[in-house]
Amino acid sequence: MNRNNNRVTFAVLAIGAGVYSLLQSLITPALPTVQHALHTSQSTVTWVMTAYLLSASIFTPILGRVGDLVGKKRTLVAALVALTVGCLVAALAPNITVLIMARVIQGIAGALFPLSFGIIRDEFPAAQVPTSISNLSAVIAAGGGLGMVLAGPIVGALDYRWLFWIPVIVVSLTTLIALRYVPESPTRAVGSVNWLAAVLLSGWLVALLLPVSQASKWGWGSPSVLGLLGLAVVLFALWGLAESRSAHPLIDLRVMRLPAVWTTNTAALLFGAGMYAVWAFLPGFVETPSALGYGFGASVTGAGLLMLPMLVAMFAAGILSGRLAGRFPAKAQLVTGAVLGALACAILASWHDQEWQVALAAGVFGLGIGLAFSSMSNIIVGSVPAAQTGAATGMNANIRTIGGSIGSAVMAFLVTSHLQPSGAPYASGYTHGFTLLTFFCGAAALAALLVPTRRAVARVVGLPATAGAVTAEREAARS
């Protein structure tokens, strides 16, 4: 592929994955507006986020594997079409039920992450792969932050439905460009989709994430939560048994057990717990009226502006990550990113009386996210066989999401367990929550220290340790 086509391909991948990431957070600040406009309850409107989470958790690893089997381009286009349709249905939704269904359709596009990483690995020159993955990771990370910044101005100037109309326009054009310019990757896995494993995987993910995301409403000790968590354990065991006995597993557990993969996934779980919880609760903290003893009474737009340092920092760190790879290896970047995340949460726990202090913490956390996102992706892509790229990166994204669900649920419990007479949380709830997130990110740094070096990975899985060898591997696959 020539350089110009590389640029077009990367632009398509970045726009698709960036819009999907944007939609993860874009709707969150507008949930009260949606609740009022569609005449629904607060407990019901939260399913707009829960449905998206559950759908993405199911489709991300499954379609990542499908892309490895039948072709990453055609699966990418299908995911882009699903995202377009989901946004169109959401923009036209006459009631909350249709909107929730639309969010389920949008969640299918979670597969854009592993598919994009796989296309980059298959198609780009080996020397460009780490930088391209870092750049794409920066776009994905920044998309999540950008949603919190843009939501207020878009809803204020237009209407909450434009949170979906704008992606409809952008993703429709991106899909047409993808059909024309993105090449079909030559690297294919052998076998077929293990549908029994797919059903079991879907089952244990839903049984795990649903009670975790709803525990603050249902109660951690409620029969629904305990029953679903028990079901998740059973289904997980059955899934592992089905995969281990399959000649063509959906998720190759041998790959998941590679030292570089399981250590990176452990770091992803723990860092995701801190990252998603900060995204979910920091805006609410700064929007709290200062008369309650904390917060700044910021508007949705004002809260977004306080998050702007995070957005800028995570994008800059992600872009620089690939360019520094030679002198600053992915393992060191992951450790540093997790340490910066822990530092930011520690600042929020103990030093949050002024807006500039929160903005500083947000900026530090953004640096951590930018480094961690790009390094995780590069470690996984560089540690697994080419035919397993989609499935492995899909599971990494999923594990990060699972961590985020756990972190957000625990944070919600700490923040809401003791309320003031007005119904607002006490400042101590946020302080205890941010302190716990400090430990989550610190534990992620310890897990990252266990990630083997690149040379050790090459010895364990038989991967080439040099760019020239990667190119030779790719040429052999094409011939």
In tens, the pLDDT along 315-368 reads 888 888 877 777 888 899 999 999 999 999 999 999 988 999 999 999 999 999
- 75 lies in the same domain as 27: yes
In tens, the pLDDT along 98-122 reads 999 999 999 999 888 889 988 998 8
- 269 lies in the same domain as 398: yes
Which of 418, 411, 399, 392 is CA-nearest to residue 252? 392
What is the per-residue pLDDT for 176?
Answer: 93
| Residue 444 CA: distances (Å) to CA of 130, 263, 274, 332 | 22, 9, 9, 13
- 313 lies in the same domain as 396: yes
- DSSP string over 192-210: ---HHHHHHHHHHHHHHHH
- 302 lies in the same domain as 335: yes
In tens, the pLDDT along 47-79 reads 888 888 888 888 888 888 888 888 889 999 999
For residue 308, the enclosing domain spans 3-193+250-478
Q: How far apart are the first and last CA of the chain?
A: 15
- 397 lies in the same domain as 413: yes
Q: Is the pLDDT of residue 461 over 70?
A: no
pLDDT confidence bin for 442, thresholds 50/70/90: very high
pLDDT confidence bin for 394, thresholds 50/70/90: confident
Is the distance from CB of 109 to CB of 101 less than 8 angstroms?
no
What is the per-residue pLDDT for 1?
Answer: 46
Q: Is the pLDDT of residue 38 over 50?
A: yes
d(CA 311, CA 45): 26
Above pLDDT 70, what percent of the chain? 93
Which of 119, 88, 86 is CA-nearest to residue 104? 86
- 203 lies in the same domain as 275: no
Is the distance from CB of 307 to CB of 440 less than 8 angstroms?
no
- 228 lies in the same domain as 307: no
Q: Is the Cα dihedral 81, 382, 62, 274 positive or negative?
A: negative
Mean per-residue pLDDT, 209-224: 85
- 222 lies in the same domain as 87: no
What is the per-residue pLDDT for 79?
Answer: 94
What is the per-residue pLDDT for 460?
Answer: 43
- 274 lies in the same domain as 155: yes
- 273 lies in the same domain as 168: yes
47-70 helix and 112-123 helix, angle to the nearest 10 degrees: 30
In tens, the pLDDT along 417-435 reads 888 887 788 889 999 999 9
Mean per-residue pLDDT, 440-468: 69
Mean per-residue pLDDT, 151-180: 90
- 207 lies in the same domain as 99: no
Is the distance from CB of 303 to CB of 30 less than 8 angstroms?
no
Domain of 436, CATH number, reads 1.20.1250.20
In degrees rounded to 5, what are phi and psi of residue 419? -115, 150
What is the per-residue pLDDT for 393?
Answer: 85
Q: What's the structural domain count of the chain?
A: 2
